[in-house]
Amino acid sequence: DAGVTQSPTHLIKTRGQQVTLRCSPKSGHDTVSWYQQALGQGPQFIFQYYEEEERQRGNFPDRFSGHQFPNYSSELNVNALLLGDSALYLCASSLRGAGYEQYFGPGTRLTVT
Amino acid sequence: GQNIDQPTEMTATEGAIVQINCTYQTSGFNGLFWYQQHAGEAPTFLSYNVLDGLEEKGRFSSFLSRSKGYSYLLLKELQMKDSASYLCAMPWSGGGNKLTFGTGTQLKVEL
């Protein structure tokens, strides 16, 4: 039973560039949430996708956008990268209606220089 | 809204017991999670409390008092591998399963 997978593991980008991060949910899960975790902080909720639509959104600018595909996998896109976007980006999957527990992927470490 | 507070850092000795506290304010309570996160890795589930009281799971126990807005994670027989960040989190009171996290408590286990 495959868990949550994310790619790439690490990424280095330059300020102003755009980045796409990918996530495949745990088998049987249909909901994907994205979190940003700065060094020394707890994860901050970016948004959540279910049935290919954004269902909830945290306090992040429109530079952060996403997509969910029919196979439930998801992408996080960040445009016009800022130095402050450097963080660990975590994907979490869950099954709608099955409670609040979420399963986290290993994350993508994004460094913006 | 929601707010979660927990200490930033704690240090304990191998073999000892440590208690990590978490206080919260929320307009609607849907349970409280504890996650363990080793540096650079994903958070892993430790416990989920909905009702008041203590739940024990091996060396780890979690306590909840809804009336006091308070929870703690108790780690017994500490091992070096327990050195990690411990995150207190709550489902958003407005519905859905968005999680609000505390800043995490960095636990260092020393010899």
CA distance A106 to chain B (A): 5
Number of A/B CB contacts below 8 angstroms equals 66
Could you give the CA distance from residue B31 to residue B4 in angstroms, rounded to a whole number?
13
Phi, psi of A89 (to 5 degrees): -105, 120
Could you give the CA distance from residue B68 to residue B79 in angstroms, rounded to a whole number?
30
Contacts of B91 in chain A (CB under 8 A): 100
Residue A1 has pLDDT above 70, yes or no: no
How long, in residues, is chain A? Answer: 113
Could you give the CA distance from residue A74 to residue A64 in angstroms, rounded to a whole number?
13
Residue A32 has pLDDT above 90, yes or no: yes
Q: Give the residue from A47, A59, A102 with the most B CB atoms within 10 Å of its CB, the best one to mutate.
A: A102
Question: What type of residue is B103?
Answer: T
What pLDDT shows up at residue A2?
A: 72
| Segment B36-94, tens digit of pLDDT | 999 988 999 999 999 999 999 999 999 999 999 999 999 999 999 999 999 999 998 77
Q: Give the residue from A32, A88, A100, A110 with the most B CB atoms within 10 Å of its CB, the best one to mutate.
A: A100
